[in-house]
């Protein structure tokens, strides 16, 4: 489960910041595009359908209850991480690339004004 892996990283980074005396007052926001994962992480209610939940889900749930993380939903169409994990139509890829502040090859290879003046 990808959510548990990122939560482990968040816990590690928060601990490192604490050791550097940089306190994190607010929970770290973790974005998921899976509504079921968000509900499992945020809902501490136990019932028959959640009886066999993996220990990784419990770890995430504990961190939510401890207010170390907050799991938020991002619509799949706005999930920029998809640019790294799945093939996308060019327009969607370009949208995500721009949202991350990355340049296209054409933008990168385009000469700048300073280079032209030299």
Q: Is residue 21 part of a domain?
A: no
In a domain, 3, yes or no: no
Residue 79 lies in a domain: yes
- Is residue 84 a part of any domain in this protein? yes
Residue 115 within a domain: no
Nearest Cα to Cα of residue 64 among 24, 35, 30: 30
59-110 pLDDT, tens digit per residue, is 888 999 999 999 998 887 888 888 888 898 899 889 988 888 988 888 888 8
CB of 74 closer than 8 Å to CB of 31: yes
55: domain range? Answer: 26-107
Residue-wise pLDDT for 5-64, tens only, equals: 999 999 999 999 999 999 899 999 998 887 777 777 777 665 556 555 666 677 888 999
Q: Please give the tally of structural domains in the chain.
A: 1
Determine whether 42 is exposed, middle or buried from the number of CB atoms within 10 Å of its CB (0-12, 13-18, 19+).
middle
Does residue 35 form part of some domain?
A: yes
How remote is the C-alpha of 8 from its chain's centroid?
Answer: 12
Question: How far apart, in Å, are the Cα atoms of 30 and each of 45, 110, 114?
Answer: 21, 36, 40
Q: Which stretches of 1-118 are assigned E, i.e. beta strand? A: 28-32, 69-73
């Amino acid at each position: 489960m990808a959510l548990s892996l990122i939560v482990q990283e968040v816990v590690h980074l928060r601990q490192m910041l604490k050791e550097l005396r940089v306190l994190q007052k607010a929970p770290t926001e973790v974005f998921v595009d899976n509504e079921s994962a968000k509900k499992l992480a945020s809902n501490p209610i136990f019932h028959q359908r959640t009886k066999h939940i993996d220990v990784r889900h419990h770890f995430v749930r504990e961190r939510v209850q401890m207010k170390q993380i907050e799991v938020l939903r991002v619509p799949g169409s706005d999930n920029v991480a998809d640019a790294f994990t799945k093939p996308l139509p060019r327009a969607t890829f370009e949208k995500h690339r721009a949202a991350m502040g990355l340049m296209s090859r054409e933008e990168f290879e385009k000469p700048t004004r300073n280079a032209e003046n030299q």
